[in-house]
Amino acid sequence: MFRAFAYQLMTEGFAAAAGPAAIPGPTLECEVGDVLRVHVRNGLPDKYAQAITMHPHGVRYTPEYDGAYMGDFTRAGGYIGPGEEFTYTWEAIPESAGAWPYHDHGPNHTLNSMRGLFGAIIIHPKDAPRPDVERVLFLHSLAPPTTGLKRVFQCINGCAYAGNTPTIEAKVGQNVALHVFGIDDAFHDFHMHGHRWHKDGGNFVSDNQTVGPAETITVRFKEDNPGRWLYHCHVMSHQDNGMAGFYLVTP
């Protein structure tokens, strides 16, 4: 059976997990001007025991909190061994506003990231209104070398095929924000039936937008079209192998 690697949200003092392991890991949310202190414990079981890290995109940090393994040049946050803990400190500066990924960048970062060791950081502008509906969607694959299964599954948040992947729900009149991440080594795109949005906040209107490795797009619109809709990657083989989901809009 495939065992995913996942960051877990821990209770105070790392006494126990606050929830089950999941792909993606916990979404970290803050405002511009905040300082994030992220406590990470390497709790991988003995069978999978290896060093991990947590490397962020978008925020400001010193080399100690980069979370990158660099051999002899590795700093404190670049190697969290089995059973060890480390606290990262990152700053949400004005240029950090947006949605960013975090992921393992340790000695075995490619395999670990492919197995699910990633998550999102959402940084809101200071005192800005929040969307009524806000969701994080990671586009990635689970392949035989990392799962031991016989075929590739193209996934959204660790699951494949509509009904298993996240079902997003909204009501007419609500403001919707969907943060879509590419988190493997392929190019995907995000297509939502029956809806359009202004690409990158500009004048260009899209209903199908490309997202590459470690890239993020944010799809924003005001809901006005009730019904059951499909969203999916428009790389046909990715859709056929599971990269699709439902969007449900009620009047």
The reply to whether 1 falls in a domain is no
The reply to whether 4 falls in a domain is no
Global pTM reads: 0.93
Read off the CATH number of the domain in which 192 is found: 2.60.40.420
User: In terms of residue numbers, what domain contains 90?
Assistant: 12-124
Per-residue pLDDT of the chain (251 residues), as tens digits, is 345 677 776 666 666 666 778 899 999 999 999 999 999 999 888 888 899 999 999 999 999 999 999 999 999 999 999 999 999 999 999 999 999 999 999 999 998 999 999 999 999 999 999 999 999 999 999 999 888 889 999 999 999 999 999 999 999 999 999 999 999 999 999 999 999 999 877 788 999 999 999 999 999 999 999 999 999 999 999 999 999 999 999 99
Domain count for the chain: 2
Query: 64 φ, ψ to 5°?
Result: -60, -30
Instruction: Look at residues 57, 92, 124 and tell me which one is the last residue of a structural domain.
Output: 124
C-alpha 41/C-alpha 90 separation (Å) is 17
Query: 112 φ, ψ to 5°?
Result: -65, -40
What residue type is 90 in one-letter code? W
User: Using alpha carbons only, how large is the chain's radius of gyration in Å?
Assistant: 18
Instruction: Look at residues 100, 124, 148 and tell me which one is the last residue of a structural domain.
Output: 124
Burial of 217 (0-12, 13-18, 19+ CB in 10 A): buried
